[in-house]
């Protein structure tokens, strides 16, 4: 029998994929069966974009789902609906996949930042991921120092140039020699993770693993 909180009885939890109410006294996740076809397993979960390009400035990537259908909907609801309970559930899934694949031998979680903190969904995911794993979260360590164009509007080469030099580390002493989990919601071309990882390693990080909830290989 799962542990039940009073708040769950008053406000039953909802599926992050379809919004349907989850029965409190069951382990059902409502849409588990429906999203199975989007779940990445085994080699596909690790370094999903290796068949497209080499992300040489990070140790690799770990991704839970393909960005499509109800998975994409959950990200959109988090970004634009500010449904932060979704971030908590996403972090639980990412934590389980991380434990099953690489283990928890990491020092800190750092979210991909936005310019002037306009959209903080990655920070929310990183906050809950750090709690699930039991390591520090450093939301203000990596900073996006300038405004960039929207990545999805650019070609692959344009994305790379767009992000070049866009990140900086406020206090390198906080990450010196650390093994870092670099957290984001969607992995597309990989340029954002790669550029951020490059900045973190140049500032003294020992290694950087990119962890994302979803990924798409639909690259221009």
The CATH code that applies to domain 38-215 is: 3.40.50.2020
Tell me which of 184 and 82 has the higher pLDDT: 184
**H helices of 64-120, where?**
69-81, 85-101
pLDDT at 27: 44
CA distance 170 to 161: 22
Domain assignments of the chain as residue spans, ordered by start = 1-34, 38-215
pLDDT at 172: 96
pLDDT at 46: 87
Angle at 184 between CA 93 and CA 19, to 5 degrees: 50
Tell me which of 111 and 119 has the higher pLDDT: 111
Q: Is residue 186 within 8 Å of residue 213, measured between CB atoms?
A: yes
CB atoms within 10 A of CB 1: 6
Closest CA to 111 of 98, 100, 122, 96: 122
pLDDT tens across 68-97, in order? 999 999 999 888 877 778 999 899 999 999
pLDDT at 152: 58
Q: Which of 17-21, 67-71, 208-212 has the lowest mean pLDDT?
A: 17-21
Task: Give this prediction's pTM.
Answer: 0.84
Q: Is residue 115 within 8 Å of residue 144, measured between CB atoms?
A: yes
Please report, rounded to a whole number, the percentage of residues in the chain having pLDDT higher than 90.
46
Nearest 5°: phi and psi at 132?
Answer: -65, -40
Residue 194 pLDDT exceeds 80: yes
């Amino acid at each position: 029998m799962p542990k039940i909180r009073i708040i769950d009885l008053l406000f039953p939890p909802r599926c992050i994929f379809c919004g349907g109410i989850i029965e409190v006294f069951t382990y059902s996740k409502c849409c588990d069966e429906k999203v199975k076809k989007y779940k990445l397993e085994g080699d596909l979960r690790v370094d999903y974009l290796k068949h497209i390009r080499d992300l040489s400035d990070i140790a690799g990537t770990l991704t839970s789902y393909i960005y499509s259908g109800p998975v994409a909907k959950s990200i959109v609801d988090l970004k634009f609906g500010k449904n932060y309970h979704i971030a908590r559930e996403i972090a639980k899934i990412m934590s389980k996949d991380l434990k099953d694949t690489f283990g928890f031998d990491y020092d800190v979680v750092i979210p991909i930042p936005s310019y002037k903190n306009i959209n903080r969904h990655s920070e929310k995911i990183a906050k809950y991921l750090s709690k699930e794993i039991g390591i520090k979260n450093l939301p203000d360590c990596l900073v996006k120092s300038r405004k960039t164009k929207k990545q999805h509007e650019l070609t692959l080469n344009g994305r790379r140039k767009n992000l070049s030099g866009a990140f900086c580390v406020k206090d390198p002493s906080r990450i010196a020699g650390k093994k870092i989990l670099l957290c984001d919601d969607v992995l597309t071309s990989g340029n954002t993770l790669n550029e951020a990882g490059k900045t973190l390693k140049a500032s003294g990080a020992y290694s950087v693993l990119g962890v994302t909830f979803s990924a798409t290989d639909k690259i221009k």
